[in-house]
Structure 1
Amino acid sequence: MAFRSRRLEALLGGRVDQLTYKQVAELVNVEEAAEAEDLDYKRELTASDPKGKEELAKDVCSFANHIGGVLIIGLAEARGVPSKVMELDLVDTDARLRHLAQVIGSCTAPPVRYEAYPVRNPEDPKQGFLILAVPRSSYGPHAVTTPPVKASEKALRYPRRTGSRTDWLTETDVATAYHRRFTEAADRGQRLLDVEKAALAGLPASNMPKLLVTMTPEVPGDMPINHESFERHRRDIIQRLLFERVRIGSRRLIATSDERTMNYQHCELHRDGSGAWISGIPVQMAMSEGTEFNYADINVVVDELQNMLELLAAHARDRAGVSGTMLVKAALCEAPHRHPLGPGRPHLNPMLTFRIDQTDHYGTRRLPLSTQSCPYADAEVAALVDDLADGGTELVKATALLADELVQAFGIPEAAFPARAAAASAGRHDLS
């Protein structure tokens, strides 16, 4: 159940469950570490009186009802920025953690799941910080059940994190959250097909080969779309990926590149963590037995497939707060209309068959691999979102499973890429 967040891990310098005292203490006066929708600070833990219990329950519920988050206890803040180390007494940690579990279990409904990590001062192990990590919950909405300390017009007591503050869900928000809870066990396979079909419908007319990767979570996440989050996501997508434009669609973000390029990119990132990415594959024309055809280099296809898997999974985990398993489908087609869910054939010529081959080390000569052309091939796999988003060995394994099935449709036994696999086994995350 460990909470994972690429943004927070980059900010904090490591996984939440592995942070050191120094890493936490060095957040003081770091403006980038200001409180946000997934990060909060408390100078002390006061969960013994009604006000303290209500505040703690509100904090963990607000994270669970949104994308998850981390509460660091033992740091004071000024205008949201950590300002001073205020160490906690960690002498009787077990008793403190039992008290926390009792308060959170009795003051939230359904009880919020969380992990607690004491971070001790190496110079004085009796002092330190306490970190509470709360993943996004599939059992939401979670309510604060303690009696309100102050009279409030808010009859509903379902908090949710919004930016650096906590808001209360409206009746409509609560009804929507309950609806999601009871329908999230619906057929994810159908959701996968719906996401795939929607992305194909957004493509411009083309008769060139495409690689399509679609994934959807077993348990949906939630990526709120508003002015603040859209600008943040837009900058991140353009900076990290191959896209030039990002716009808002129906419950999704749509990113595209220049339509005039051969390797046109079209990506749809949905609020629930689902995503579809269609990539134009760089191809070359060749002639065999008097017939012209397009061919793509097998290494280019595998590299593109792995990058698409990693970045779609990162969207699901880091923007929509998804945890658990993703259902993933990869497809290769010689043109969009060759896909079973694709558009009609455009009035474009010429239309060439498609093969997977290899280019020699100098990029000048084709090394035949395919024994046959193939208009459409697909493959599916289920994988943990963290394994895909972390960019390590498990990502390579998932890529290999999908790539092998895809190239077998062209008569190729497997899509081996030993250099990338060796890099992943060595613990390298930059596999490009």
Structure 2
Amino acid sequence: MTYEQVAALVDVEAAAEAEDLDYKRELTASDPKGKEELAKDVCSFANHTGGILVVGLAESGGIPSKIMDLDVANWDAWLRHLAQVIGSTTAPPVRYEAYPLRDPDDPKQGFLILAVPRSAHGPHAVTTPPVKPSEKVLRYPRRAGSRTDWLTETDVATAYHRRFTDAADRGQRLLDVEREALAGIPASNMPKLLVTMAPEVPGDMPINRESYERHRGDILQELFFERVRIGSRRLIATADERTVNYQYCELHRDGAGAWISGLPVQGLSFDGTQYNYADVNVVVGELLSMVQHLATHARDRAGVSGTMLIKAAVCEAPYRHPQGPPRPHLNPMLPFRIDQNDKWGTPRLALSTQACAYADAEAVALVDDLADGGTELVQAGALVADELVQAFGIPEAAFTGRPRSGSPSSR
């Protein structure tokens, strides 16, 4: 950020205070009331999804209204003061980053930025004596929309339980999420691509009436899905239930997620045997899109930071998956291959040297890199895709074109 960018937020309704954004005209952390207020602000972000505190910008109704530059000439003194106050008024101490945005016309004046990530060591408590009497609270604040609420005793107990169980094997969490998604899809004998992701440090996506409507609108705008409903500690999105391009996605409260996509296939006869085959460009394109959107869910809805465990699998039918459902009583299933169409879409260019009933691959990457969709996403996707296609006898999954029209990645 720059000073000019923050100054330009004045009177911008879209820049209103939110779950991860707060404005203060000044930072008065020298008296008991000011210290309590600062401790409450940083704890409420750390106990939720993290956030940014902009000091030096007044607000009216949550919307930035006036620039109130601070004296940032002695920045070292600011850092010492913040470290002393936050370290002595929060338990366990909240981790944060602080830096100035100086006015180019007067470098001694500017804004103070406090960036507080979601904490894996919560809940964080305010330890200062209460300035105002508080009833039925334990002084554990958490951000709720554009305001701060206090955790109840049940909330605190649950948060402590999560702190001590979050260190459990994330690989098992990945398998659990994968198994639950497979149990939710209808019977099928058609090929599927399954991407499952789990955060190394879990996040927390609150699910209530307000957040459901907001997340539902965001998910439907992405055009991949037609319906969004609430499940147990998750959102479930589906589309094209009666077609080959079936989509089923579970977005968990802790930032984990699983997405099952029906692969469009074409029939072919090879050495006297009938096969289904999917184009390698479609497989890779959809894989990249699914990884990116699951990472975006983890980062933006659940407040996940750090690394994500990624697992991708292709199977000629869901029951071929080790955790899949029983074999359905449907039309006979054909063996599955991965090949390629020429640049005009036909005819088929043989890549596979053998059919494969099931293949999987895993990788680890930073959630921000995956969600941003840059080079790191391609690198992680290439690592996973290469391992998948090697099970079909293909050396590497060279992505040579756009995915099919109508696929998640092309939409």
- Which TM-score bucket, shorter chain as reference? over 0.9
The counterpart of 1:343, out of the listed 318, 322, 325, is: 325
Does residue 31 (structure 1) correspond to residue 13 (structure 2)? The answer is yes
Question: What percent identity do the matched residue pairs reach?
Answer: 80
Q: Which runs of 5+ in 1 are unaligned?
A: 1-18, 421-429
The counterpart of 1:176, out of the listed 158, 161, 164, is: 158
**Residue in 2 that maps onto 1:366:** 348
The counterpart of 1:239, out of the listed 218, 221, 233, is: 221
Does residue 397 (structure 1) correspond to residue 379 (structure 2)? The answer is yes
The counterpart of 1:226, out of the listed 168, 192, 208, is: 208
TM-score, length-normalised on structure 2? 0.97
Does residue 192 (structure 1) correspond to residue 178 (structure 2)? The answer is no
Q: What one-letter code is carried by the residue in structure 2 that aligns with 1:312?
A: L
The counterpart of 1:330, out of the listed 296, 312, 319, is: 312
1:137-194, CA deviations, whole angstroms, 9 ceiling, x for partnerless residues?
0000000000111122144110000011100000000000000001111111111111
Aligned length: 405
Q: Separation in 2 of the partners of 1:57 and 1:79?
A: 22
Q: Separation in 2 of the partners of 1:83 and 1:431?
A: 41
Shift of 1:331: 0.2
Q: What one-letter code is carried by the residue in structure 1 that aligns with 2:284?
A: V
Q: Separation in 2 of the partners of 1:398 and 1:264?
A: 25
Q: Separation in 2 of the partners of 1:155 and 1:204?
A: 46
The counterpart of 2:76, out of the listed 90, 94, 104, is: 94
SS in 2 for 1:328: strand
Question: How has the CA–CA distance of structure 1 residues 155 and 300 changed in structure 2, closer, same or farther, with 3 Å as cutoff?
Answer: closer
Q: Separation in 1 of the partners of 2:400 and 2:66?
A: 49
Question: How has the CA–CA distance of structure 1 residues 90 and 419 changed in structure 2, closer, same or farther, with 3 Å as cutoff?
Answer: farther
SS in 2 for 1:140: coil
Shift of 1:289: 1.6
Q: Separation in 2 of the partners of 1:270 and 1:364?
A: 40
Q: Separation in 1 of the partners of 2:350 and 2:389?
A: 13
Map 1:266-281 → 2, pairs under 5 A: 266-281=248-263
TM-score, length-normalised on structure 1? 0.92
Q: Which runs of 5+ in 2 are unaligned?
A: 403-408
**Residue in 2 that maps onto 1:53:** 35
SS in 2 for 1:200: helix
Question: How has the CA–CA distance of structure 1 residues 193 and 289 changed in structure 2, closer, same or farther, with 3 Å as cutoff?
Answer: same
**Residue in 1 that maps onto 2:93:** 111
Shift of 1:117: 2.0
Q: CA RMSD in A?
A: 1.3
Q: Separation in 2 of the partners of 1:276 and 1:50?
A: 47
Contact 2:281 2:401 in 1 (8 A): no
Does residue 133 (structure 1) correspond to residue 133 (structure 2)? The answer is no
Moved over 6 A (4+): none
Q: What one-letter code is carried by the residue in structure 1 that aligns with 2:297?
A: H
Q: Separation in 2 of the partners of 1:38 and 1:304?
A: 31
**Residue in 2 that maps onto 1:306:** 288
Shift of 1:87: 0.8
1:359-393, CA deviations, whole angstroms, 9 ceiling, x for partnerless residues?
00001200000000000000011111111111111
**Residue in 2 that maps onto 1:415:** 397
Q: What one-letter code is carried by the residue in structure 2 that aligns with 1:174?
A: V
Q: What one-letter code is carried by the residue in structure 1 that aligns with 2:258?
A: A
The counterpart of 2:132, out of the listed 150, 153, 170, is: 150
Shift of 1:350: 3.3
Q: Separation in 2 of the partners of 1:241 and 1:379?
A: 27
